[in-house]
Each structure stands twice: as C-alpha cells, then as structure tokens.
Structure 1
Amino acid sequence: MTRIYLVRHGSTEWNQKEIFRGRVDIKLNETGRREAQALANYFQPISLQAIYSSPLARAWETAQVVAEGRKLEINLDPAFIDIDFGEWHGLPLPEVQEKFPALYRAWREQPHTVTFPKGESLEQVRQRAWAGFQALIQKSEDQTILIVSHRVITKVLICAALGLDNSHFWQIKQDTTAVNCFEYHRGHLVVSLINDTCHLKSIHAGN
C-alpha cells in the first residue's frame, strides 16, 4: 500500500492578518515555526521515504523542519505551488471586499465559478495539482511520502479524491499544519484522515 500524507504549511504573518498570499513568498512566523516543530514531532514515529514541497518558503520551511534528522532531501514540486490570486495578491481581506465586491461574493458562495483577475481558477489549480499527485502515486509504490503545500491545494486534492467538484471547496476545513492522509492500494484511493491538528494542542493551550 502507498500512503501519502498531505500537509498544509505553518502560520505566517499574512495568514494571521488575512492578507491574500498565493504566490507571494512569505516565510513562517514564530507561531508557524512552533507549529512546524509540533508537526515534526507528529511524524517522528512515521517512516517516510520521500518528502515533497511547494517551492514557496512557507511550505519548504515547514517540510525542512520535518526532514531534520532524516536522510531525505526536500523535493520542490511546482505542481503543489499555491493558487495564483492575480490582482488579489498582497491585498488585505477588507480591501478585496471593497475593490472586488461581486467577485469576492462569488468566491465565497460559488468558488468553482471564479477565475482571479490575471490569476487562476480552482479548476486550473486542481488539474495541475491532481496530475502531480497522481504522478507521485505512480512513482511511490508501497512507500510512505509527505507533501507540504497550501490550503487551496489540499482542499482541491481532497475534493478530487472524494469525487467532489470544486463547489464543495468551502466545506473542507484546513488549518495550518493540518495533516491529511490518502491510501492507495490496487487501483483504489481512499482518504483516511482529514484536517488532523492534534499535534497543535500544546501550542494552542499555551496561547
């Protein structure tokens, strides 16, 4: 059986300030680094044969913390880079709501219909991410691997694996460093875990 762990990166300042990140290369903040260490502790008893990451710093920094102490390189894979928000990049949520009221309403109510100005749609993201995901399944037979990516990517991949279209995007929750797990055996893909954040309990208790 092939087991694929799909994880969202740790927190950044822009996450906490609700600024649209997308392709902007934001690093982890102190909370994100603590989350990444908690994630590494979660994976400590799990044998991983390979680690893949989005090329963006917030993802590969998270992956690097998990990789410490293991003789594994981080494989950067552009299939798992965050969505291109186009003209929304770097804008705080209130500014997006003011400048793009109709589009923002559509994003919240009918996300599958939205293509961001000078950016991507969820379907475009899903096609590239799903192709990359399937390629890793084929090259990782009977292995356990880790992919560190972004909320939009993890959501559309979970939708794809469950046979759901992108209209269900907002029905799937993905917290920072959330752990999801997929199991592939004899041609069948099963989602066995979604949005596991048990490793963050000590961090939240300390806040």
Structure 2
Amino acid sequence: MEQLFLVRHGETLHNVAGIAQGWNDSELSDKGRRQVRALAERLATHSPTAIFSSPLGRAMSTAQFIAEATSLEVQTLDDLREMNYGDWEGQSFLDVRRNDLDLYHRWVADPDLPCPSGESHNDVLHRMQRAFTAVHSARPVVVTHGTAIRIGATHLLGASIATSRHLAQDNAALNVFLRRGDRWVLKLWNDTTHCVEPA
C-alpha cells in the first residue's frame, strides 16, 4: 500500500440510540445513507484501487455505495469487524456504565481485559494488524468501525493502544494515511466535511 483510505460506516439506528452494536447490527439511518453517498462521491475523486470491508451489514452497506461510485468490487475481511462487546451488545453504554462501572473502568484501562463474553482491546489490535497485512493494493478503501479504526490507527502510527481512547471517530469519517518508506504518516483524520448538510 502507498495510500490508505480508512473509513467508518455511516450512522445507524443504534448509533443514534447510543447502543453498543459490536458484532450485532443495525441498519443505516436516512442520515447515514446520505452520509455514505457523499463519502462515496468524495472517494471516487481519489481513484482508489480496491475496496475492503468488514462483513457486518452497516459496513457492507457503506462499502456498496462506494463500490457504485468507483466501479470497484467489495472484498470482505472478517478481521475488520468491530470489537465484540459480548454481553454488552444491545445495551446502551450509559446502562453498561451504570450497571457495572467498576468493570467498565477496568476494561477501559486494561487492554488485555475482555468485555464479558467478548473481546479485549488487544484482541482487536491483533485482528487489525492481520487485516492491514492482508490488504494488497496501492490505494485501498478500508471500510470498518469506530473502535476498530481507533485501535488500528495506533498500530499504523506506532502509538500505544491507550492512545485510541483519545481519538474521535465519527460516522462516515474519512481518514487518510500515506506510506513513507517503512512508516505510515497520518494526512487526514476524522474528516466529515463531505457530510455537511444545508441548514
């Protein structure tokens, strides 16, 4: 890879409700479809060479908009799935914190501690490392999820996994990384200017 377009799926109904989705799914909202249509039009101007996507529905729906705009086929990689939140999936994060604040804080602080019946931050890190290794294309678009992107970015930039907690990642955001020799350089982060709607 010489340039990587790392993008988050558009807004879903569960995103609006603040519900943890993880490996469960939720449809794109009307706003989410408008977001990814605008994202797809923007990406088409960058002449990407491939599209790789998480197989989860919200990511695939986003990837299909991009495929239509770029005339590229979507290739799926299981390793691009969102963090498996286990027993927390289907609950709001507000309820998770309210019901088990101590465990939630320990999970945030310890990258090796998994969610109940789910994954740890390091589990996601190892998956994202495998996913990036599997992407063989000059300028690929990689469609995935908020936590996966934040954790994957720490790998690309050689930062600690704890850094991921300080990175915002909005729906339909565009992130661009450039290859410079043996390292990645972040050119654009969490950009959603294509999503601006008329007042």
4+ residue runs over 3 A deviation:
none
* Mean Cα deviation higher: 77-86 or 41-50: 41-50
2:161 & 2:181 partners in 1: Cα distance? 26
2:103 & 2:120 partners in 1: Cα distance? 12
SS, match of residue 70 in structure 2: coil
Distance 1:94 1:71, change over 3 A: closer
Shift of 1:165: 1.5
1:103 equivalenced with 2:98 (yes/no):
no
What does residue 149 of structure 1 align with?
144
Deviations 1:144-182 (A, max 9, x none): 110000001100111112221121122111010111111
What does residue 183 of structure 1 align with?
178
Query: Identity over aligned residues, as a percent?
Result: 33
Shift of 1:69: 4.1
Shift of 1:113: 5.1
RMSD: 1.6
1:180 & 1:87 partners in 2: Cα distance? 30
Are the aligned partners of 2:107 and 2:115 in contact in 1 as well (CA < 8 Å)? Answer: no
1:167 equivalenced with 2:167 (yes/no):
no
SS, match of residue 132 in structure 2: helix
SS, match of residue 112 in structure 1: coil
What does residue 200 of structure 1 align with?
195
Count how many residue pairs are aligned between Structure 1 and Structure 2: 199
Structure 2, unaligned runs of 5 or more: none
What does residue 79 of structure 1 align with?
79
Are the aligned partners of 1:179 and 1:196 in contact in 2 as well (CA < 8 Å)? Answer: yes
1:131 & 1:33 partners in 2: Cα distance? 29
Matches for 1:1-207 after TM superposition, within 5 Å: 2-108=2-108, 110=109, 112=111, 114-136=113-135, 139-140=136-137, 143-202=138-197, 205-206=198-199
Are the aligned partners of 1:180 and 1:193 in contact in 2 as well (CA < 8 Å)? Answer: yes
TM norm structure 1: 0.90
TM norm structure 2: 0.93
Shift of 1:80: 0.4
Shift of 1:188: 2.6
Distance 1:70 1:161, change over 3 A: closer
Structure 1, unaligned runs of 5 or more: none
Letter in 2 for 1:127: H
Are the aligned partners of 2:129 and 2:155 in contact in 1 as well (CA < 8 Å)? Answer: yes
2:119 & 2:156 partners in 1: Cα distance? 21
Are the aligned partners of 2:86 and 2:119 in contact in 1 as well (CA < 8 Å)? Answer: yes
SS, match of residue 5 in structure 2: strand
Distance 1:111 1:65, change over 3 A: farther
